Amino acid sequence: MFDTIVVATDGSDSVGRAVSVAVDVAARFDAEVHAVYVVDAGEVESSPDTVRDDLRDALDDQGRGALDRVEDAAHDRDDDLDVTIEVREGRPASEIDAYARDVDADLVAMGTRGRHGENRFLIGSVAERVVRTCPIPVLTVRQLTEEDPRRTTI
């Protein structure tokens, strides 16, 4: 049913549950996991020229760290999971969509809130855009609050 699962990460705490769910689905279906982090080109280009390269490098480093955490989560769940990681630069929703198409994904998993937190009421703007435009099924996973009885601590 699922051979290739793309999990989009931005390195935020709120994406942790989405990573966990994506990894669980991949383990159940013996699917490949593709983790993608997108350096937001708009964020980089809108920064002052004097710090643009440093910002790009910092975001790239942050992305690599986020992808390493996805890879660690996958191998903690199942050492046999095949994990591919990639950093891209561009408009996050467009790049996630393009990456999912490039790898012929069966499912895209992502959190509903990202690094920019509460600037959207129910679902993050990137997640919302991916849900609306991506032709591949998108699983959005919300982060549970501390008070939610379904929340478990690891």
Give the confidence band of 122 by pLDDT, cuts at 50, 70, 90. very low
If you count them, how many residues does the chain have? Answer: 154
Q: What is the pLDDT of residues 65-101, one digit of tens each?
A: 999 999 999 999 999 999 999 999 999 999 999 999 9
Lowest mean pLDDT among 6-15, 23-32, 96-105: 6-15
Cα separation, 106 vs 118, in Å, equals 29
Mean pLDDT of 12-27: 93
Q: Measured between alpha carbons, how far is 44 from 50 in angstroms, rounded to an integer? A: 11
Q: Which two tokens stand for residue 111?
A: 């959190």
Domain ranges of the chain: 4-141
List the single range of 24-33, 87-96, 142-151 with lowest mean pLDDT: 142-151
pLDDT of residue 125: 87
- Is CATH 3.40.190.10 the right assignment for the domain spanning 4-141? no
> Measured between alpha carbons, how far is 85 from 35 in angstroms, rounded to an integer?
5
Distance between the two ends of the chain, CA-based, in angstroms? Answer: 29
- Is the pLDDT at 153 greater than 60, yes or no? no
Q: CA-CA distance, 67 to 84, in Å (whole number)?
A: 9
